[in-house]
Every structure is written in C-alpha cells, then in structure tokens.
C-alpha cells in the first residue's frame, strides 16, 4: 500500500502533462521546466512564445512558495496540512476540468480559456511537487522521470552484474518501487492519449477523480505532541 499514493501522483502527473500538452498547444503543466525549452525554441524560430509559457514558471514558483508558507501556518495551528493542501489540488483539477468541458479545446495557446486552464493545471502540479518534497521525501519526484529511469537502469545493471559490498535486498526493493512509479507515469501518459482521442476535453475529468483516490490514501494525521497515548 505504501506504493499506492506515489503511484497515483505519478499517474496524474503523466496524464496531465500529456493531455495538457495536446489540448493547450504545447504547455507542460507537470514537467513545468519543459516550458523553458519550448520558450527558447520559439525565440530561436523568431516567434513570440505564448503567454502561458511565459508565465508558467513564475506561477509555479509563487504557488510552491505559498504552499510552503500555508503548510507551516496550518501545522502551527494543529491542522493536517497534507490533507488540506491535497484537497486544494483537487479543487484546482476540478476547476480545470470544468473549464475544459464548458469551453472546449482552445483554438490557440493565448486564448483566455487556454491561459486559465493552463495556469490552473500548473498550480495544481506545483502543489503536488511541493507536497511531494515535504511529505513523501523517500519517493522520487512524480513529475520528472529522468532520475527515476537513471536509478532503474543502475539497479538493473547491479542485478545483472552485482557490485561487491552493495545491499542486494535494498537494490531489489528500490528496483520494484521505482518500476511501479515509472509504470504509473507511463500509464497516465498512455491513458491520457487514448482518452483524448476518444472523449476530447472530457478526459480532464479523470485527474480530479484520481485526486480523490490520492486523498483517500493519505496517511492519518500525526497525533499532537504531548497527547495521551
């Protein structure tokens, strides 16, 4: 069960990045630094980058900072910051789905509905990234698979040609765990592509449903310090 929550996060990241990239004219909502590449590519081609790609990084940064400050304030007051902020992510994903269904596929990257939906998805993924770093510190990032794939290849190599002195049990456990996360991300990408072909913008209903499952899988809040056992 300990793999389920990170796996769901990876699934949603892959789904949102794929569906968002196709629907929002090349915007990366989860792997947000990818927008730096497409931003620079637009400059190199002599054209103006879309507004969404210009503001995606600042929006991401502001949400991460706000999430950290709000998390500290909630903890200070004795609230379950993880659950509350995951609920905020659910609301953002639900809002993006509502915009997608009501307004349909944007005709261009700079239309108001494209910017609104894109920044809502970027904000949701910024929340997910912040919470992952602060509350799931033993799991690799859910939105970027480069490090995960690298570790998987290193561990596969170790299983094939064991390194003397290494903890073989730990390597195999990590191999299984990281394999689940990569498979979840890939499944999200694949299902997003298929659902977008079959249902268009209605496919954005799936991420908030997965987010509900994520909240259900959250660990129970820690008991207050000094409380009775």
| Domain boundaries along the sequence of the chain | 4-216
Question: For residue 224, what pLDDT is reported?
Answer: 55
Q: What is the mean pLDDT of residues 198-216?
A: 96
Q: What is the mean pLDDT of residues 155-167?
A: 78
What number of H helices and E strands is found in the chain? 8, 0
Question: For residue 222, what pLDDT is reported?
Answer: 64
Question: For residue 186, what pLDDT is reported?
Answer: 96
Query: Residue 24 — pLDDT band, cuts 50, 70, 90?
Result: very high
Question: For residue 1, what pLDDT is reported?
Answer: 55
**C-alpha triplet 221, 222, 224: angle, nearest 5°:** 120
Query: Residue 229 — pLDDT band, cuts 50, 70, 90?
Result: very low
- CA 35 to the chain's CA centroid: 15
Please check the confidence at residue 6 and state whether its pLDDT lies above 80. yes
Please check the confidence at residue 197 and state whether its pLDDT lies above 50. yes
Could you list the beta-strand ranges (E) of 48-177. Answer: none
Share of the chain above pLDDT 90, in %: 63
| Residue among 87, 91, 30 nearest 215 (CA) | 87
Please check the confidence at residue 223 and state whether its pLDDT lies above 80. no
For the domain spanning 4-216, the CATH number is: 1.20.1250
How high is the mean pLDDT of the chain?
A: 90
Question: For residue 33, what pLDDT is reported?
Answer: 83
């Amino acid at each position: 069960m300990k793999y389920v929550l990170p796996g769901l996060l990876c699934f949603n990241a892959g789904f949102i990045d794929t569906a968002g990239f196709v629907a929002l004219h090349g915007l990366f909502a989860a792997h947000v630094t990818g927008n730096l590449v497409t931003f620079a590519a637009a400059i190199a081609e002599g054209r103006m980058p879309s507004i969404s790609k210009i503001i995606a990084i600042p929006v991401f940064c502001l949400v991460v900072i706000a999430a950290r400050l709000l998390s500290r304030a909630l903890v200070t007051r004795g609230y379950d910051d993880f659950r509350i902020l995951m609920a905020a992510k659910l609301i953002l994903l639900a809002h993006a789905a509502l915009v997608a269904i009501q307004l349909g596929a944007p005709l261009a990257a700079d239309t108001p509905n494209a910017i609104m939906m894109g920044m809502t998805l970027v904000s949701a993924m910024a929340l997910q990234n912040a919470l992952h770093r602060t509350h799931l510190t033993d799991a690799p990032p859910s939105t970027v698979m480069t490090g995960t794939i690298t570790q998987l290849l290193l561990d596969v190599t170790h299983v094939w040609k064991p390194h003397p002195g290494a903890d073989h049990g730990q390597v195999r456990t990590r191999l299984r765990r990281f394999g689940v996360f990569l498979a979840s991300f890939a499944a999200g990408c694949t299902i997003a592509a298929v659902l977008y072909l079959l249902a268009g913008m209605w496919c954005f209903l799936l991420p908030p449903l997965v987010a509900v499952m994520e909240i259900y899988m959250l660990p129970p809040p820690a008991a207050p310090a000094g409380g009775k056992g």
